[in-house]
A = this chain, B = another copy of it.
Amino acid sequence: MNEFDSELLERAVTELSRLPGIGRKTALRLALHLLRQDPDVGVALGKAIIDLREGIRYCQVCHNISETEVCPICSNTSRDDSTICVVESVKDVMAVENTRQFKGLYHVLGGLISPIDGVGPDQLEIDSLIQRVSTGKIKEVIIALSATMEGETTAFYIFRRLEEKPVIVTQLARGLSVGNDLEYTDELTLGRSILGRQPFNDSFPS
Contacts and interface: CB of A to CB of B under 8 A. Distances in A.
A53 B49 contact: no
A34 B9 contact: no
Nearest to A40: B53
Contacts of A12: 48-49, 51-52
Contacts of A18: 41, 45
A35 B7 contact: no
Contacts of A130: none
Interface string A36-72: 0001011111111111111110000000011100011
B67 A53 contact: no
Contacts of A29: 20-21
A112 to B, nearest CB: 14
Interface residues of A, number: 54
B48 A15 contact: yes
A91 B89 CA distance: 39
Nearest to A55: B8
Nearest to A49: B46
Interface string A167-195: 00000000000000000000000000000
B50 A42 contact: yes
Interface string A5-17: 1111101101110
